[in-house]
Amino acid sequence: GAVGELWVQDGLLLLLALSLCGVSGWRLYQKNNGEKSLKEAIDADEKALALATRFGYTLPNAYKSLGSALKTLIEQTSKKQQRAKYEARLQALKRNAAKAKAKVKPITRETSQSENVYNS
């Protein structure tokens, strides 16, 4: 649009086209930057969990502590956008906790019986 207005040589419409381009570019930047900052926050949560387990927390307790902290932030936040970011982090935390729980293989009766047979 700006190139077309430059061709016609109408300064007011050129400024309008440039301002519309600037606004749309800014909105695209904000949208993409928001997703990037959310991903960085989720990565930081994962690193915080690793750090907590390093200093003696069990993994389930670390997930519970971080989850309760995020729930508290959700309850206390009045801004809708900020609350949505915290909720997205909490959902990601729940997904990661479910994956971690699935990785831990519980000992079944068959496994313990077979181990007892070999240990006897």
Each residue's pLDDT tens digit, 84-115 = 889 999 999 999 888 888 887 665 555 445 44
For 18-33, how does the pLDDT look when each residue is reduced to its tens digit (9 = 90+)?
A: 788 888 888 887 777 7
The model carries a pTM of 0.60
Q: What angle do CA 111, 115, 120 make, to 5 degrees?
A: 150
Q: Where are the domains of the chain?
A: 33-104
Q: What is the pLDDT of residue 7?
A: 57
Give per-residue pLDDT as tens, 41-78. 889 999 999 999 898 888 888 899 899 999 999 999 89
SS3 94: helix
